[in-house]
Amino acid sequence: MILVTVAGMILFPIGYAVLGGFKSNGQLVGDPVSVLPSPWVFSNYTDVLFGVNSAAFWKEAANSLIIATVAVTATVGLASLAAFAFARMIFRGREAIYTLFVFGLLFPSAVAILPLYILVRQLGLSGNLLGVAIPQAAFALPLTIVILRPFFRSIPVELEDAARIDGCSTFGFFWRVLLPLARPALATVSVLAIVTTWNAFLLPLILLNGEDQWTLPLGVMNFAGQYAQDQARILAFTVVAIIPAVIFYAVAERHIVSGLTGGAVKG
């Protein structure tokens, strides 16, 4: 069956990495074809999680987490405010400004990278986790706004009238009525933003300059360079580094898929 073959091809490299992490280098090089390790070697994984490589690993995981938290909070917060204005306010130039954001979905973001490097340096943010988180929030704004706007628009106007009669201000309505109702949409955009920031590579590569600031993707690349002769250790490090993404995927798959297929504007 075709589907099973394709699924096998998808899982094959992942399985290779997981099992390879349990092998010794002798096993990996001497007998690459055997599927299961014999004997099972646990030191690669324990070194990464608790042993000699654990300091680097946990530091990088923490950096990734900090950047993702700041970037996602900023982008979802600011995009909600802006999407509210685009969805429920009438003002001159609204569609023009909205189009400006849509434009952000249409060009390759790599274009902005070199001047961004200069800009972040001028702002004194280079080598600072914030210097990565803030631009990432900015880059995530267009997709977030484009997904949120129609959702905000679909909330019945009667609710807004009722809230106003009860004395709600514009912000009060936004904060106490609209945001709680929009929770599914907010979950979706947050999940998409987390995946993007967590996996970001080019931006942190350019903007971070010290080992103690590396995020997981940068850390894995450098680890692979540093331990080029120790493949089993690289595989173990790689596997541990992708575990958060896999867990997250298992939990949030529905949101990722609905967000991307509904708001299919950028991959």
Q: Cβ of residue 46: shortest distance to other proteins, in angstroms?
A: 20
Q: How far apart are CA 104 and CA 141, in angstroms?
A: 9
C-alpha dist (Å) from residue 219 to 2, 23, 207, 211, 226 = 36, 22, 14, 8, 10
Among the listed residues 254, 255, 228, the one whose alpha carbon sits nearest the alpha carbon of residue 25: 228
128-187 binders of other proteins (CB under 8 A): 134-135, 137-139, 141-142, 145-147, 150-151, 153-157, 160-161, 164, 170-171, 174, 184-185
Total binding residues toward other proteins, as defined by CB under 8 A: 110
3-state secondary structure of 263: coil
Report the residue number, 67 or 141, with the smaller CB distance to other proteins.
141
Nearer to other proteins, 47 or 224 (CB): 224
Burial zone of 13 (CB within 10 Å; 0-12 exposed, 13-18 middle, 19+ buried): exposed
Binds other proteins by CB under 8 A, chosen from 195, 213, 233, 236: 195
Binding to other proteins by residue 257, rule CB under 8 A?
Answer: yes
Judged by CB under 8 A, the chain residues 236 through 255 that form the site for other proteins are 238, 241-242, 245-246, 248-249, 253
Task: Work out how close the CB of 179 gets to other proteins at its nearest, in angstroms, rounded to a whole number.
Answer: 13
- Contact mark string toward other proteins, 204..223, x via CB under 8 A: -xx---------xxx-xx--
Question: C-alpha distances in angstroms, 22 versus 34, 36, 44, 221?
Answer: 12, 9, 7, 20
- Comparing C-alpha atoms, which of 47, 7, 86, 171 is closest to residue 163? 171
49-78: contacts with other proteins (CB under 8 A):
74, 78
Is position 14 an interface residue for other proteins (rule: CB under 8 A)? yes
If the CB atoms of residues 52 and 94 are measured against other proteins, the closer one turns out to be: 94
Question: The tokens of 25 are what?
Answer: 């280098």
Residues from 27 through 46 that contact other proteins (CB under 8 A) = 29, 32-33
Site for other proteins in 83-122 (CB under 8 A): 84-92, 97, 100-102, 104, 106-119
- Span interacting with other proteins, options 40-48, 54-62, 259-267, rule CB under 8 A: 259-267
Distance in angstroms (rounded) separating the CA atoms of residues 103 and 80: 18
**DSSP 8-state class, residue 212:** G
Cβ atoms within 10 Å of 136's Cβ, excluding its own: 23
The stretch among 36-44, 50-58, 199-207 that binds other proteins (CB under 8 A) is 199-207
